[in-house]
Each structure stands twice: as C-alpha cells, then as structure tokens.
Structure 1
C-alpha cells in the first residue's frame, strides 16, 4: 500500500511570491520525528518513496522530483541506502540549499519544497524532501517529462504526456452551471441565428426543424449541464446567448464599467459613468458606442492633424481595430472567478485604458511576453471560440494582440502599454489629439 503521507500536520501551499515570503517567515515548520521517518522507509522504495545515499547529481535528482510530482507527490530521503541503512549526509544544510535551488530553478512549474533534517544519536543526519504535485504536469528545465511506476522512473511517452495534460487541465469557470438559470433564459433568436450558419456542415437539416434549444446547448455546443436535477446553461452559455436582462441578474460580475474623465488621470472629474450589462454581444456593442461618444475611431491616422493652442482639448482619435480588439480581448479573456472586480473602460483626454480581472499568479512574466507574439493564454476557450466566430454576428478585427500593438503604435506614434499587476490585466492606448 502506498505511503504518501507521514505527517498529521497540514501545510498551506503558498500561491504567490508574497504569500511564500510570509509563509517562510511566519509559519511554524512541522518536524518529522525519527520514528515517523522509519515507519515511512520500513517497506522500501515504491511509487511515492525514493531513497538516496547522497545528492551527487542535481540533474538526476531534478528528474526524480519531476517523476514524483507527476505521480501526485511523494518523498525523497537522502542519507539512506536502498538496503535501508542509515548512512547520513556529509553536509545537511548544503543538501537543503541545493534541493531548494532545484525545486525553484530546475523544475517547471516551480515547486515549493518541504524539507526536514533528522538527526540520530550516532551523529548522522538525513534529509527528507516532501514533493506535492498540485500543478501537474511538471517537467525539467530542458523540457523533459518523467513519470514513476513502482520504484522506477522513466521518461514520459507521448501517451503519458497526453494523460498528464488531461489530468492537469483545471476545471474552467466557464463550464460551471449558472445557479438559478434555465433554458428559457437563452435568447433563442441569437442562438439559432448562430446555429444556422452550420446547418449544411455540422448538423442535418431535420435537426434544426424543431429548434431543440436544450439538446443543442447540451450536446452540440456543450453550453449546458445538469444542475440539481435540471438542465442549466453554463457560464459560457449565458454570457454568449443569454437574454441580456437575465445575464445582468444572474451574473452581475459580468458587467462593464465605462467612465469618461475630464482629464488625464482617474482623479479628474467624471463626465459620465455607465454600467453596461447584457450578454457578450450586447456588451461589445454598448462599449463601442460609449467610446464613440467621446472619441473618433479611424482606420488611418488623420493627415491634416494640426497642433492647436486652444485650452480646450479636442476629441482624441484612435485606431478602430486597436480599440475594438482591446474591448473584445477584455470580454473574452476576463477571469470571472475574481470577485468584486469588473471590467473597466476609462476614457481620458489623451488615452483609453481597458482593465480586466485576471489572476496575476501563473501569468507573469513569461506569458505576458508570449501574448505579444500571438501565443494565446485563454482562460475561456469556449467563449473565445464562439465569440470570435463570424457566425456569432460581430465584425471583429483580426490579428489579436500583436495587431493591436502594431496598429496603435503606427496610428499614434506611441507604444500601447500592457501591464499585469494585482490580479488585473491592463491595456492603455494613446490617442491623437
């Protein structure tokens, strides 16, 4: 029988660098007794236990840690031979430092190591590293995946990697049923307008004759699921095809707050503040209308632009595609699991700022660089796929974030700013006045 746990103490795994720092300086560290350790190793190595005499090859140790993490977790004990003789390690503190370095620098995603140093009456010391695989799949810095079967590790096959990716894929918020929602809350005119675009390719004609909304949502689009014995639209289903008034009632956090400031900072007087509600189609159109009320959206930079000495700031102009993409990006990729934070559109005299709830942990810094080159980091793949499909009915720009950055720079002569901070993703576009 696998022996994965040998402590009664429960530890909280830090989720951010700040929480890790607070944990390290304030949380009590449970110690493993000799009797606990000997109970752990008495049966020898298995899927969740590895015994090593010493730490001599950091690369091999990293592979062992990856294999244990991909198995769901386990323990590596340094200073004990395969015959379960206590040999001890020469420098326990150096072994601990090396293990921390391996877990944080040689494994992707990084592991938070739990390490205990045990002393015996003979003066020998051993080191136990507990591995917890909560963010599978793990790989080494050189991109190799390892798995563990019994007491042996091996490099993962393509089939193993596929299984790990399937297991590691988090449950998406967009697939959760909306509490209180019913099939009657779906805007059938919008739904069937979308479905008719696929009538000849994806479905047979008889399927569309009776307009079986519930069946199509559940089986064809995967936008409905069972909830308390009844079929209910998922979050994605309501946001994409829900009746606007019901979306506002059932998903209030899905609103967009649009504000026009009389100045260049958020401390300037407010000219107008609106809370936009509805499904994604309605939100996109409403947001664009609000922006057009105070800005000019053009396809090319005005050639007759002349600087004015007037004390009154004129209407700023922005690239139409860049603004449209910023709004669409915010609606599709926002993290609806973040509470008490709405998508915001702030219009200043010389800039537009679109801020979106997005958990910073796991998104910075590499993902922020990758999205500039068009590498997607999608929280809501169902929403993104349907919203960007022409059958949904919106005339969206093509090219994604790379297009936004390029067109915004060519239009205004200034680079668009992108920031991910404090669980928020922000895009700032400079206008031409």
Structure 2
C-alpha cells in the first residue's frame, strides 16, 4: 500500500507514462483500457478519485468499488491480470489505487479485441510493429524466422553457406545438386517458400546474406569513441560496422580492443598492461547484443560506445515477458531469437547454457550494470580506473 507521501508525489507529478488519474464514475471499458495499456508496456499506477488536472475528488459516491474493480480486471481484460487494489484516505477523501505491473503474459487486450499500449500520458492502439513485438516478447512468434519480403535465393552467399555446412555437418554444400541445396535451405529455415515463391528468412539473411544491411539496415552496429563521459563530448572515432552477424561480432570485438584503455601496473621493473575489460567479457557482451536484440525495431541500431570511464552496449528491444534484469544476472534466459541462437551456438560463438551473463558478472562485479529503458536494454561495463 502506498504511503501518504508517495500518493502526494504521484499526484504532484501528474499523468505520465506510469501514472493515470480517473474519476469515481469511470466506465468499465475505460478502466480496462488503462490496465491493458499499462500491462502491455511497463506497468503503472491508476488513482481512482482524482480528476485529470490532479484535483482530489474522492470516491465516496460508489460502494463496493474494490469488488467492482476486481470484476473489471477479471472480465474486461484478456488474459486476466493481477493487480494490487487498495483503498486509502488522502486529504480527507477516499481514493482507490490500482498498481498495475508489467504483464507477464503479453499481449493483453480489452474484451472488444483491441490491444493498447501506453505512450507518454496517453493510451493508443498498438501499431502492427508494436503488436508484432508484443507477440515476440510472449514467445508466440519469432521474427528471425519470418520471410523477408523482396528477397530471393540470390541474396544468400553460397560460400558462407558452404563453410557452415562443411564445418558443422561435414556436408560439401557446393557439390550438391541444385535441388538438394534448395531442399537443405528450406529444411533449415534459411529459405522459406510462400505462395510458391522462395524468400530468405530474416535470420538466414543475417547469418548468410551477401549484404544484410541492404534489406535490414537496423542490423548494422554504430561504433563510437568519446573523449569524455557523455554523448555530447568530442568524438574520437565513429563508424558503422556492417556484415553478417559473425562478421559483426568479429569486427566489433577488434574495434573495442583497439580503443579500449589498457591501464598499466608495475611488477618489479616491468610494466604490465591489461585491458579495462577482458576479451571474454567483450566477446560475450557483443554476442549477446547481436543475438538477442529485437530486429523488428527498424529505426534503431545496436550501439557500442566507449567513454573514458565505461563501455556501453545498447540493444534495441526490452527483455522478453518473463525476464527481468535480476533474472538474467543469475543466468535465467528466455531467448527472443531461437533461430539465431541455434546457429550462433553451432558456429561456436555461444554455448546456449545461459552462463554468459553470470560469467561477466563474476569477473566485473558491481562494475557490470544493466538498465532497461523503454524499448532498449543498456549494458554498462565500468572501468576500474577511469581515464583522466
């Protein structure tokens, strides 16, 4: 239950992405819309008995409002959600406070079949892209095995395919008959047949494409080095890294190692240098960024920033439904991109056992931090000794 000071703070800040005011005469469909939007986004608090302008008017006119609210939650939101509902006195008037957590079973919809999301202080129906991400977060659809419109077999690099099948399965791909190559690609979900037309899957292009960024520009990595600790500080280097995911991983790791500071200590008469972040941590962080990001977010690229005091890796896409920052730190995982995970595992970039983040945390300790901010996940790796 909220304290008086917490309620005062909520009212003073006004309606925003996490706070909504409702009068006592709120209709069931309106309340259901608010609960659905908060559940599909990041959760929030609904104060019933407060006008839109923040005036406390109370709910004295309605009896059994707790039971009424519970019925709205149970009957007007699909699937039903669990909220903390409590009555409290504030300024001599009774308020109902509904605490809506970020829903674990996205996507949620109102009983009329509409999916709502919270944007700022308002709710709106989810766009096609937002709805796709909600289903992805629920594990109901996987964007990495969706067909990529406008692609064809020629968009795949036959040499990359041969190297993969040869290394992992000992199959001489280039020696196969054309019909056998096509069958192999279809069975592997690298190629998809839709209405008698072959198209490359998103994951297939990311792993084996000739120029993946032509079709998926968001798959590039933005790399930048700053002469300071903020984005507004002078740039020392900036470039866009392109290629397939294996190429992105290798190139990004090399770029980080090139610009990463190497603090020196003395052992006797000799100077010993070691990178501010180890190769193992760099590798794991970069692999996670390209493997687990949400590629359906077309307007955001993965970003790798080196500041004087830290390395930051920013991945588009919030954590899937059941995951929290606390869970991933202990090795819990719920992969978004099963196709990419499988192939990167086969290529020996990862082991698929969920050990990566705990390994990084063991080595970095409190210098490793995750921050979930809207549609991005930010990994911060602090240096022990910031550059001056």
**Partner secondary structure for residue 336 of structure 2:** coil
Shift of 1:94: 3.8
TM-score (norm 2): 0.63
Which runs of 5 or more residues in structure 2 are unaligned? 1-28, 53-61, 84-104, 109-137
Shift of 1:323: 1.1
Whole-angstrom CA distance in 1 between matches of 2:48 and 2:234: 42
Aligned: 1:426 with 2:383: no
**Partner secondary structure for residue 425 of structure 1:** strand
Corresponding residue number in structure 2 for 1:188: 158
Aligned: 1:216 with 2:178: no
Instruction: Output aligned runs, 1:312-323, within 5 Å.
Output: 317-323=276-282
- 2:341–2:352: 8 Å Cα contact kept in structure 1? no
**Partner secondary structure for residue 370 of structure 2:** strand
Whole-angstrom CA distance in 1 between matches of 2:141 and 2:352: 30
Who wins on radius of gyration, i.e. which is larger? 1
Aligned: 1:16 with 2:41: yes
Which of the residues 304, 307, 312 maps onto 1:348?
A: 307
Aligned: 1:225 with 2:187: no
**Partner secondary structure for residue 218 of structure 1:** helix
Q: State the Cα deviation string for residues 120-146 of structure 1 (Å, max 9, x = none).
A: xxxxxxxxxxxxxx8489xxxxxxxxx
Task: Please identify, of 207-216 and 352-361, the stretch whose mean Cα deviation from structure 2 is larger.
Answer: 207-216
Whole-angstrom CA distance in 1 between matches of 2:349 and 2:288: 13
Corresponding residue number in structure 2 for 1:304: 266
Which of the residues 403, 426, 430 maps onto 2:359?
A: 403
Q: C-alpha root-mean-square deviation of aligned residues, in Å? A: 4.2
Corresponding residue number in structure 1 for 2:94: none
Instruction: Output aligned runs, 1:115-154, within 5 Å.
Output: 135=106
Which of the residues 295, 298, 305 maps onto 1:339?
A: 298
Whole-angstrom CA distance in 2 between matches of 1:222 and 1:252: 21
The 3 A distance-change label for structure 1 pair 268 and 415 is same
Which of the residues 262, 268, 273 maps onto 2:233?
A: 268
Corresponding residue number in structure 2 for 1:117: none
Shift of 1:196: 2.1
Shift of 1:286: 1.4
TM-score (norm 1): 0.57
Whole-angstrom CA distance in 1 between matches of 2:369 and 2:249: 22
- 1:261–1:346: 8 Å Cα contact kept in structure 2? yes
- 1:316–1:432: 8 Å Cα contact kept in structure 2? no
Instruction: Output aligned runs, 1:65-214, within 5 Å.
Output: 92-99=64-71, 110=81, 135=106, 169-199=139-169, 209-210=176-177, 212-214=180-182
Q: State the Cα deviation string for residues 268-326 of structure 1 (Å, max 9, x = none).
A: 101111111111011111111211221168xxx976389xxxxxxx9962111111111
**Number of aligned residues:** 288
**Partner secondary structure for residue 266 of structure 1:** coil
